[in-house]
Structure 1
Amino acid sequence: MTAEPHRFETAPGGLTVADVRAGYDPGFRFELEDGVAVMMASATRWHNRVQRHLAVAMEAVCPSNLSVEVEQAIEITEDFAPVPDILVIDMAAALPDANVYPKAAVHLAVEIVSPGTRRKDRMIRPMDYAHAGIPYFWRIEAEDFQPAVYTFRLDETLGQYSPIDVHRKLLRTSWPFTMEIELADLGH
């Protein structure tokens, strides 16, 4: 016996963040884009290991007023909720039943580039996150299967991210909080 998927009645314009908060589940990992549940690309083993190990390392040094989250949506508009690989949010927004966070609670969005997400992670998401006012963005690239962390800070005057640094072997930063993380073994 298979369970019938839950059907949601949506407005003619499509799905909303309210639908996602209420538990909308199309049966696959998705991001909400312009009211449409868009399937997320499958992640590689390297991507998943970097994501998991980096999130754990960040949690170990994260201050108590912030929280490190993995694959949780950000409400950019009522019909647009992208899902970064890692994000840092205000602890006050980290409710046990939350599956979407308000953009004002997000300090950092991290995207780990995979073969199926290169264009999105390098060009589209930085524009989306900058437009939403998220102060920091990191893009992680595989360089011979070693992570290179490209860090950016929002330039509010320009409305886009400005590069801060590229970290190889060691991620040492004070933004959004002080951390020093060995990168060499994150993907192994």
Structure 2
Amino acid sequence: MSVAPRASTPSWPIPPEGGWTADDLDRLPNLPPHTELIDGSLVFVSPQTFFRLRAVSFLEWQLQSVAPADLEVVREFTIDIDRQNRPEPDVAVVRAEVVEPDQTRFPAEAVVLAIEVVSEDSVSRDRETKPLKYARAKIPHHWRIENERGRAAVHAFELEPTTGTYTSVGIFREPMKVDVPFPVDLDLTQIKTRRDKEQ
């Protein structure tokens, strides 16, 4: 006698009516690391590229070394935008006064700079969805890092207060020198492999 195979129970979370909320990210069991919430939907991160790894590490440490004492530089940490949006910038600069050892997210109003490194699976989110949400949350500065044949190009934006949208303040490919949100002088050519550095 043949027995029909049992329908397997899906191992991924089933969204409630109306979608997930920002608080659910802290309550749902067994979520993959760096899960984001965008428009009430869970977004899982694909395996990262070496370029993204190197860019995120470079920006985290370079910014941390020059950030004023009242600012903290963090990587891959979610921010509360609203009930249905809790994105995770690759690097963020936040006001140090809000940083607590046990917290799992920052309020959007404490973020002064949100940085995204574009990956193949996140192109539309990083170029369109997230900048719009960061602007609506009044995050004053946003940088988007693009991979141009293994070299970094930083697209820097500043919030225009009268329109509530971002305006470009420049595209930087080798040196990057800006005065806001604090003085930064970066050598973007350092975002590459050791092999490239030796050539």
Q: TM-score range by the shorter chain?
A: 0.7 to 0.9
Contact 1:73–1:81 (8 Å) recurs in 2: yes
The aligned residue for residue 148 of structure 1 is 153
Query: In the alignment, is residue 60 of structure 1 matched against residue 57 of structure 2?
Result: no
Matches of 1:160 and 1:126, distance apart in 2 = 9
Task: Rate the CA distance shift 1:35–1:108 in 2: closer, same or farther, 3 A.
Answer: same
The aligned residue for residue 142 of structure 2 is 137
Q: Which digits, 9 at most, give the CA deviation of each residue in 1:148-172, with x for residues without a partner? A: 1111001122221000011121121
Structure 1, 22-31 or 52-61: larger mean CA deviation: 22-31
Shift, 1:68, TM fit: 0.6
Query: In the alignment, is residue 112 of structure 1 matched against residue 99 of structure 2?
Result: no
Shift, 1:27, TM fit: 3.1
Q: RMSD over aligned Cα, in angstroms?
A: 2.2
Contact 1:47–1:187 (8 Å) recurs in 2: no
Query: Unaligned stretches of 5+ in structure 2?
Result: 1-12, 194-199
Q: SS where residue 101 of structure 1 aligns? A: strand
Matches of 2:30 and 2:135, distance apart in 1 = 28
Q: Which digits, 9 at most, give the CA deviation of each residue in 1:108-154, with x for residues without a partner? A: 11011111111111111111111111100101111221111111001
Q: SS where residue 117 of structure 1 aligns? A: helix
Shift, 1:13, TM fit: 3.6
**What fraction of aligned residue pairs are identical, expressed as a percent?**
32
- For normalisation by structure 2, the TM-score amounts to 0.83
1:26-175 matches, within 5 Å, as 26-175=31-180
Contact 2:143–2:156 (8 Å) recurs in 1: yes
Query: Unaligned stretches of 5+ in structure 1?
Result: 1-7
Matches of 2:17 and 2:160, distance apart in 1 = 36
2:190 maps to a residue whose letter is D
Task: Rate the CA distance shift 1:24–1:18 in 2: closer, same or farther, 3 A.
Answer: farther
Matches of 1:23 and 1:90, distance apart in 2 = 28
* Higher normalized contact order (CA 8 Å, seq sep 6+, divided by chain length): 1
Matches of 1:34 and 1:131, distance apart in 2 = 13
Task: Rate the CA distance shift 1:46–1:37 in 2: closer, same or farther, 3 A.
Answer: same
Matches of 1:97 and 1:52, distance apart in 2 = 23
Matches of 2:28 and 2:121, distance apart in 1 = 26
Contact 1:54–1:186 (8 Å) recurs in 2: no
Q: SS where residue 17 of structure 1 aligns? A: coil
Shift, 1:36, TM fit: 3.0
